[in-house]
Amino acid sequence: MSQAKQNVGDQQLWASRFKKSTDPVAKAYSDSIDVDRPMLFQNIWGNEAHVIMLAKQGIIKDSHCREILKGLQQLKDDFVQKKWDLAAQEEDVQMNVERYVINTVGIENGGRMHTCRSRNDQVVLDTKLYVRDQLLPIIQNVIRFVEELLTQADQHTETLMPGYTHTQHAQPMTYAYWLTHYAAVFLRDVKRLVAAYQVTNTNPLGAGALTGTSFPIDREFTTRLLGFDSVQEHSLDAVGAKDFNLEILSACSIFFSSLSRLADEIIYGITYEYGTMVLDDGFSMGSSMMPQKKNPGVLELVRGRTGKMYGLLMQMLTTMKGLPSGYNRDYHEDKTTLSEGLKLVYDTVEVMRGVMKTLVIKPERMKYLVDQNFATATELANYLVSKHDIPFRLCHRIVGFVVGQLVEEGKNFTDRERTKALLAEREISISDADYDRVLTPAHVILEYTSQGGVAPKEVSRMIASMRQECVNFQAEIDFIHAQLNKARTETNTLVEKILKQNLSVNNAIETIL
């Protein structure tokens, strides 16, 4: 029997020079079956594009391509019908699939599917294809989350609440203003996630082990069939740089930092002492001992799992900081960090959207807090500047004196007569009309009409602008989906024409060009 006709044997496919099987302990330690299993269909897509390209370029015969495609189709069917699953023998999805195809259509055919390719570029390819499919639903969920915040904000452009700096009352604002501030933050997170997608969406296939190949491959063709934006051109870069991973985990970590802040504010808002918000029962937890308790357990988990997300980013940063150029097995860990991180983001956005959709606020309590703690002091100083032509620094001193005296007496700006008397001590007179306009929170917010200010009209304008940003981002995601669907359809069409219509590879390709 010729060498070409020999069976591949029971050894692992990469074990050609080895005289001894991998130690079971080492095999178990290096196994990535569980994290690879969700990537099976992406792996099949990549294999289909690769072998069609090989046949197109005359590197393998049409007959070999056809048999390999048959093997891949049968594998897909067997996996769906639970007749086959990844096995530890070949420790990852790449070798499992190749083993299946070889066993199904013979080494004379299946043994050619890895031509011009290494696991180095194949692992990166499968990871990118998988990550793309996970990122897009996350981006859409964040957009929907922002839209929920904007829907709530639309109803509360005049609902007063205290604004804080240093956790102390600062100036009056509205619930809509608070919500839209988070909407603005999360829209930047959408932008970062889209940018991470774009960094990811480049084609490493054809890079080989690290230096490309002497075969006349067509990397632009596989780029088209797999829906990538472009070729990741430099082969050593394609297999040895995982900055796309860091870009994704970094964007997710920044997003989590903001989610944690939002969760924290709600946790304090629902306390008895604040009493400004009520968490829905569906997102609350009880105590096993104290029957009166209604705990924000879900929100606390959001805060806690932020640390987990940071840890995943730090894990990959630490892994990559000391690696030499070229592919290193350390990179296999990126599949775990990405898979865990993306699931964590998806689940957390779902929870936070539910929290915000059902969160109840107490407008009367918010207004009471605004009235009680000198939130309009800044506007009183502004009034003295504009109406009495006093330098702002002196106005600051005058208002500080008035506030200090009122605090000592247990009073505040709701005591009109005492406030006016204290101003008079500094030779300042103020009419009742001006007093209402300057020191009543509901009137004060109407005056802050500067761009980005708290005035209801300005907040409504920003809501409309942010809604348009959501529309624009969604249009971008829809375009990406269409691009990927077109690529999948083209690949599936080629496979069907080659297998069912028995067309030659190049004739099949001509039908889609």
Instruction: Say if residue 146 is in the same domain as residue 241.
Output: yes
Exposed, middle or buried: residue 460 (CB in 10 Å: 0-12, 13-18, 19+)? middle
pLDDT of residue 411: 96
With the CA atoms of 264, 265, 270 and 275 taken in that order, what torsion angle do they form, in degrees rounded to the nearest 10?
150
Domain final residue, candidates 98, 115, 132: 115
Same-domain pairing of 246 and 327: yes
Question: Which residues, 6 or more positions from 82, have their beta carbon under 8 angstroms from its beta carbon?
Answer: none
Task: State which residues form the domain around 18.
Answer: 3-115
Indicate if 293 and 387 belong to the same structural domain. Answer: no
Same domain, 81 and 152: no
Structure tokens at 10: 């029971």
Q: Is 23 helix (H, G, I), strand (E, B) or coil?
A: coil
For residue 133, what is the domain's CATH number? 1.20.200.10
DSSP state of 324: P
Do 164 and 263 sit in the same domain of this protein? Answer: yes
pTM (2 decimals)? 0.91
Does residue 8 belong to any structural domain of this protein? Answer: yes
Domain identity same for 92 and 233: no
* Structural domain contains residue 503: no
CA–CA distance from 347 to each of 132, 193, 342, 350, 505 (Å)?
Answer: 17, 16, 9, 5, 43
| Claim to verify: residue 17 and residue 131 sit in the same structural domain | no
Residue 34's pLDDT is 86
Does 274 fall in a domain? yes
Q: Are residues 142 and 199 in the same domain?
A: yes
Number of domains present in the structure of the chain: 3
Same domain flag for 128 and 107: no
Same domain, 281 and 132: yes
- CATH number of the domain that 95 lies in? 1.10.275.10
Residue 512 lies in a domain: no
Does residue 419 lie within any of the structural domains?
yes
In a domain, 83, yes or no: yes
Query: So which residues are the catalytic ones?
Result: 166, 287
Tens-level pLDDT at each residue, the chain (513 residues): 344 445 666 666 655 666 667 766 766 666 778 889 999 999 999 999 999 999 999 999 999 999 999 999 999 999 999 999 998 878 789 999 999 999 999 999 999 999 999 999 999 999 999 999 999 999 999 999 999 999 999 999 999 999 999 999 999 999 999 999 999 999 999 999 999 999 999 999 999 999 999 999 999 999 999 999 999 999 999 998 889 999 999 999 999 999 999 999 999 999 999 999 999 999 999 999 999 999 999 999 999 999 999 999 999 999 888 888 887 877 778 888 999 999 999 999 999 999 999 999 999 999 999 999 999 999 999 999 999 999 999 999 999 999 999 999 999 999 999 999 999 999 999 999 999 999 999 999 999 999 999 999 999 999 999 999 999 999 999 999 999 999 999 999 999 999 999 999 999 999 998
DSSP state of 442: H
Looking at the structure, do residues 270 and 398 belong to the same domain, yes or no?
no
Residues 100, 142 within the same domain = no
Q: Mutual orientation of helices 243-269 and 297-320 as an angle, nearest 10°? A: 160
- For residue 3, the model assigns a pLDDT of 43
For 373-418, the pLDDT digits (tens) are: 999 999 999 999 999 999 999 999 999 999 999 999 999 999 999 9
CB neighbour list of residue 480: distance below 8 Å, 6 or more residues apart: 136, 197
Domain for residue 229, yes or no? yes
Report the C-alpha gap between 463 and 15 in whole angstroms. 61
Is there a domain that residue 56 lies in? Answer: yes
- Kindly report, residue by residue over 7-60, the tens digit of the pLDDT: 666 666 655 666 667 766 766 666 778 889 999 999 999 999 999 999 999 999
